[in-house]
Structure 1
């Protein structure tokens, strides 16, 4: 049984906690409170944290110690740790090598394409590499083309696991030799009248994949045009077929639609097979995956863009696959982890702790935020933003964030608001989740770190509340 003095102590503590929560809620800007009420979102399911960069204490703090699902805002953690550990100038190297003599245009052996974990190796860059190999004298390969993705040790990846939409590019998995985001771009051009076939152009070429296009032109407004389209993979005796169905309104005009029809490894085989033929190369064997021998002779190398550019691509457009690749890259230095994804999460927690950022209740599944289990506290994100501001790579970190009302995933936020163009924010949305975090420059020239997360079935309706918070901070309250 608790002694009276201990009971009194507990009661005082509980009263203090309750009073702090009530005070924080009562201090919430009226515009934010009203927007949340209008959206049907309780304050208990909302976390807010605001602090001026030059201040020692938060301006606003509501449920800031409550772990919440941040959706794509988790990419701020991945970006911070990658820039802190690897540096903004870090690059990845992809190599082409051989294991046999090259005589009179004929390679008597295998050609190896060895990945280094490059998150942004496009098919244009791959085409250039293969074209350079041709220019260096490789016209015919007596052996095979071998693709080596062993640079990253990864757990099994199921693209359907998150939401059952395995052909969506955001569900593609990381790979040591990731090529073109494992994505096929389908350019759709509707006809002029309903019922007419929609013209299709697909790139890059993927050997062994046929496309059955049954998309027809429709009338009406464009709206969320991609929601009326369906893609599915069909296995036939002649190989794999990508079947496309649906309607595309003529009012949409040309549209680009991305699909991820193959696993990263199989995509690489199909792409390299097609591109080697396109550059005029001949192959006696086949393209397949395996590990390159240690004695491979390097023929040429391709260096990626620097990490600062990669982080910008990740955060401006919320690229999940880049985030997955970065987390796996970070995991290469982890000790005792079963794979580089869990190792990356281990490294991230340690790096944040070393920077003075609390990691209580932090759960990292894949570094992208495409997760139902990921969790982070608003005050953790706030501390991360303040720590990033003090880093030498701060300009690269902030420049990678979408500018509300201007570019990236926040280009349609704060439209017509005086705060438009003054908020660098990373946003995130999932079913039941809407979040944002970043920096706001107020009208007096003072910068603030801002975090807001909503985890509630009506979270999608809370954007107005987030925008109200950004405008309140911009006004300099």
Structure 2
């Protein structure tokens, strides 16, 4: 009787234990997620037999881990020192501080054009003698093809900074940086950067006691325009707990062209200048003369911001930049073609790859764990490996992983990119195991219970770090 029971239990347990490590299976059961919803690939960076290959060739949604495809393709094809340039040009005549003509601001798709960098460009124009602009300011966005972007289409969060669309003249990620600071009284102090011409803030936030928690979820913002939209009121309401201290809330209340125009007018006025005409989109006139320009940080630095902090709009800017070589304004089709052409040149087969915007903020992007592992192996052997690897968050140290597994012996021993959507959790990158061996690991999990899956990926990560060399049968 006991022998029969043992055989029966063996038949039940053996198949489960044969596909994934026991701690991972246990975490999956606790999250009520079947093993058929996860895809895993674990292997030495030098290749050889996989330690785990579970459904590794199944195309799945990798969420923000797709940024590793975009950033490695860019780093390898454009080079670590690549930079974007934003140019200022003029038409007409400049004399005695007066530009009797148009000022042209031509964007190159810079993902990192900050308020500080833009201020330096405007300050440079003032130093070159420009004060009063009698004509228009022409904003040239032609590096990227025009596209209709609905910021609320993905998850009905149109003001969320992560939903900002790409723009060839993107300023400060098109995000207003709202600061909140508790003070005596019924409302926190509240101010915003950059200054926006004709925009005032109506602070209706209540200061409350209690835990800080997910403080952003307690705030809402609404744009209330005047009938002719000459002025706007940004009404901010909600509750803010005193223990939160000073916080920054990034929101995107305006379309990119309006945000840029209002920021330009306000910043130019602060520098003592005046703009008589309109701020309008247009092409750079053939007779425009160069005045000044500013370069972005190098690509190696830009991809650190993209990967460590999972910046979606920067990734989308970079993705479109890859499509600029076609000689026409870049769009997602030319960018997709550029990534595939690069992979072909490098002998990197990615048969499962389905790209949408290159950021992972997508319902349609797909990649298999095996193909991501192939990309990671290729990157490990490339000349840009140091820049690529250092762009990823370090476990328990920085970026999106700074709070993960802080008390684990694996802390500080892995460079990994994570991703999350409502039905997706993912992780991929490099782990230095306890034996001093570098291992690549990839795991996608697509399931309605993905929000409960963090222990699953953490169990896998700790299993990899422990240097386990048990090989599991390949499961497709």
Work out the CA distance in 2 between the residues paired with 1:28 and 1:152: 45
Find the counterpart in structure 2 of residue 261 from structure 1.
253
Report the secondary structure of 2:359's partner residue.
coil
Find the counterpart in structure 2 of residue 453 from structure 1.
444
Find the counterpart in structure 2 of residue 395 from structure 1.
386
Count of residues in Structure 1 that have an aligned counterpart in Structure 2: 453
For residue 68 of structure 1, the aligned residue among 46, 60, 64 is 60
Find the counterpart in structure 2 of residue 430 from structure 1.
421
1:396-420 C-alpha deviation (Å, 9 max, x unpaired): 0000000010000011111200001
Shift of 1:25: 6.0
Shift of 1:333: 2.3
1:19-47 C-alpha deviation (Å, 9 max, x unpaired): xxx97961421111111111111000000
Find the counterpart in structure 2 of residue 123 from structure 1.
115
| Residues 1:25 and 1:45: Cα distance change in structure 2 (over 3 Å) | farther
> Are the aligned partners of 1:98 and 1:111 in contact in 2 as well (CA < 8 Å)?
yes
Find the counterpart in structure 2 of residue 226 from structure 1.
216
Query: Which runs of 5 or more structure 1 residues have no equivalent in the other structure?
Result: 1-21
Find the counterpart in structure 2 of residue 11 from structure 1.
none
Report the secondary structure of 2:453's partner residue.
helix
For residue 198 of structure 2, the aligned residue among 201, 204, 208 is 208
Report the secondary structure of 1:215's partner residue.
strand
Work out the CA distance in 2 between the residues paired with 1:122 and 1:308: 17
Mapping of residues 19-58 of structure 1, within 5 Å: 26-58=18-50
Shift of 1:348: 1.4
CA RMSD of aligned residues (A): 1.6
Find the counterpart in structure 1 of residue 336 from structure 2.
345
Work out the CA distance in 1 between the residues paired with 2:131 and 2:317: 33
Work out the CA distance in 1 between the residues paired with 2:165 and 2:278: 24
Shift of 1:183: 0.6
| Residues 1:283 and 1:55: Cα distance change in structure 2 (over 3 Å) | closer
Work out the CA distance in 2 between the residues paired with 1:213 and 1:92: 37
Work out the CA distance in 1 between the residues paired with 2:345 and 2:368: 17
Work out the CA distance in 2 between the residues paired with 1:47 and 1:403: 22
Mapping of residues 153-172 of structure 1, within 5 Å: 153-172=145-164
> Are the aligned partners of 2:321 and 2:330 in contact in 1 as well (CA < 8 Å)?
no
Work out the CA distance in 2 between the residues paired with 1:286 and 1:343: 33
Work out the CA distance in 2 between the residues paired with 1:365 and 1:240: 34
Find the counterpart in structure 2 of residue 295 from structure 1.
287
Mapping of residues 78-477 of structure 1, within 5 Å: 78-192=70-184, 196-237=186-227, 239-334=231-326, 340-477=331-468
**Which has the bigger relative contact order, CA under 8 A and spacing at least 6?**
2
Work out the CA distance in 2 between the residues paired with 1:77 and 1:155: 23
Report the secondary structure of 1:214's partner residue.
strand
Shift of 1:164: 1.0
1:1-29 C-alpha deviation (Å, 9 max, x unpaired): xxxxxxxxxxxxxxxxxxxxx97961421
Shift of 1:57: 2.5
Report the secondary structure of 1:472's partner residue.
helix
> Are the aligned partners of 2:16 and 2:25 in contact in 1 as well (CA < 8 Å)?
no
Work out the CA distance in 1 between the residues paired with 2:414 and 2:33: 24
Shift of 1:376: 0.8
Shift of 1:86: 0.8
Work out the CA distance in 2 between the residues paired with 1:354 and 1:435: 28
Shift of 1:56: 2.1
| Residues 1:25 and 1:451: Cα distance change in structure 2 (over 3 Å) | farther
> Are the aligned partners of 2:102 and 2:135 in contact in 1 as well (CA < 8 Å)?
yes
> Are the aligned partners of 1:24 and 1:61 in contact in 2 as well (CA < 8 Å)?
no
Work out the CA distance in 2 between the residues paired with 1:435 and 1:222: 28
Shift of 1:352: 2.3
Shift of 1:53: 1.0
Shift of 1:201: 1.1
Find the counterpart in structure 2 of residue 16 from structure 1.
none
Work out the CA distance in 1 between the residues paired with 2:33 and 2:71: 30
Work out the CA distance in 1 between the residues paired with 2:16 and 2:145: 45
Work out the CA distance in 2 between the residues paired with 1:354 and 1:60: 29
TM-score normalized with structure 2 length = 0.92
